[in-house]
Amino acid sequence: MARKTYYEKLKDPRWQKKRLEVMKAASFKCQVCGAEDKTLNVHHGYYSRSLEPWEYPDNTLWCLCEECHKETQDCLEFIQRRIGAIHPQLLQQFIESRSLGVIRGFNDFLFAWECDTLCVMDPDCYEQQESK
């Protein structure tokens, strides 16, 4: 039997049930902007090759309108690019310590909070920061 595509898996009754549970828990409103009159999506906070769409923990699934879903995806992509730029030696320190707090400079490198905090809220800011 051929492996199902991700799109086909989203048609699976187990995903449809889980999707409706997430939307119901959010009172069929966007969990970011509160919209009730827009098309809603269920956003996965992360992806794992070892999980089917319906196997994710409830606390990692969010009911979002299409606009907020796109903004959330853009924000996560930005964060993932920053994480992807972490030097392997720094990652090894994390693996050895199991604590971000003891890694000197980790938080400064990863987010540079003073200039990027607003970027977490404003996807247009990412492009401006990266073009510098």
> For residue 51, what are the CA distances in angstroms to 13, 24, 46, 116?
16, 22, 10, 32
Model confidence at 63, pLDDT cuts 50, 70, 90, reads very high
Residue 106 CB partners (closer than 8 Å, separation 6+): 90, 94, 100
pTM: 0.67
Whether residues 16 and 46 fall in one domain: yes
- 34 falls within a domain: yes
pLDDT tops 70 at residue 88: yes
Residue from 77, 24, 19, 68 nearest 46 by CA: 77
Q: Which pLDDT tens digit goes with each residue over 101-125?
A: 544 555 555 544 334 443 443 444 4
Q: Note down the domain range covering 94.
A: 86-132
Q: Give the number of domains in the chain.
A: 2
